[in-house]
Each structure stands twice: as structure tokens, then as C-alpha cells.
Amino acid sequence: MTGKIPFNIVGFDLDGTLLDSSFELAESLNHALSFGGRPEITGSVKHLVGMGARHMLEMALAQQGDVDRDEVRRLMPVLIDHYEANLGHNCPPFPGLIDALDQLAGTGTTLAVVTNKFENLAVKLLRNVGMLDRFATVIGGDTMGPGRGKPMADPIVEMMARCGGGSAVFVGDSIHDTSAATAAGIPSIAVSFGFLHQPVEELGATAIIDHYDDLIPTLQRIG
């Protein structure tokens, strides 16, 4: 039996936190590279993802030589079109996530998503993987307007307002997530299994978890 959760709201980042989207991002990246006559990336692309599709494409091209900005502009629509057409087909939840969400829902905790992915893509992805109804709100990188996504506090503050207020915590895998939570005045939990671009200990999170089995005990401890 899950004990009392000391937070009214638990917010989550999406890619690299809820879902391992690296598989389908790799497929879309390689589709674009192949279209451009470039060699495909072999193996994991986790080290390339987490900072946006353009950054992922630029880093992949940089591994093969100089980055041509005209080539990036030409290949980006190819990448995005493929990604959107296949959204959610190979994007599993991280181990233990579904059980943790079920436990939180069972305590009456309000769940939300705040991502820097465009809102329409985030909603479509969550719908396609059958998870959209679990969340009271989904806030994207464009929801609050230009320049007001994470690491700004704005989307976290909006999340709390949409969820009825009360105590909140945010779970993510990047410095943007922990910085946004700190700016909004709430604690954060970093996941060590996400799309990390620096050691997880350097993200400045209130706590770190290595598996979603640790989420409920960690919420109870830091709350």
C-alpha cells in the first residue's frame, strides 16, 4: 500500500524522463541523414538527444565533418516529418514508470507534463502511447510563448496553476528541468537514466533516482 504523498502535484519532463524516445529519434535522424546522402548513425543516439531535434542533427553531422547550415535547413523538415509520422511507435516508458504513476494516481496526486517539445507533438506522443489521460495538463515549449520554456519558471508556475495549486515537485533529466523547478521555488528530482549531457550529480536536483521504483520513497523523503 502506498503511503501518503507529501505533494499535491508531481510534474514530469517527457523525453528522457517518462519515455525513452531515443529509438524513434534515431530512426528519424537516420532517415534524414540517408536522404541527404550521409552515413547513418549506428548504435545508441542518447548522447545526441535531449536538447532538441536541430541540436541532434547538428551533432550527428559534426561527427561526420563540418556542419553545413544549408544542409541542416534542408534536412530538418525531412527529420521532423518522419518523426511526426511515426510518433510513439517505438517509445517505451522507462522501467517502473507505469506502476509509479498508478500508485500516485491512487493517492489522488495530480500529474502533469512540462516539456520543451512543441505542445501538439507532446500531446500526440502521449496519446499515441496511451498515456495522455494520466495527466491533468501538458505544457509544451511553445505553450507560454517564445523564450518562455524551461529553464524559465513560467511553464512550471503555469503547471501548478492549471493543477489547482498546492505543493509541487518536478521530475526531469536535464539542467533545464532542475533550473526551471528552482526558479519556480519547488524541489526537483533528477533521473539518472535519462538523456544526460552532464553528470546527474551536477544538475542541482533535490534528489536523484536510478529507477522509478525509487520515486515514491523519494517523494516521501524529500516532502
- Active-site residue among 13, 15, 20, 214? 13
Could you tell me the end-to-end alpha-carbon distance of the chain, in angstroms, rounded to an integer?
18
The Cα 153–Cα 135 span in angstroms is 20
The Cα 168–Cα 94 span in angstroms is 22
Residue tagged 517564445 (cell numbers)? 146
Residue 1 corresponds to which amino acid? M
Burial of 171 (0-12, 13-18, 19+ CB in 10 A): buried
Give the start-end residues of each E strand in 40-187. 110-114, 137-139, 168-172
* Residue 13 among the catalytic residues: yes
Q: Would you please indicate which residues are annotated as catalytic (active-site) residues?
A: 13
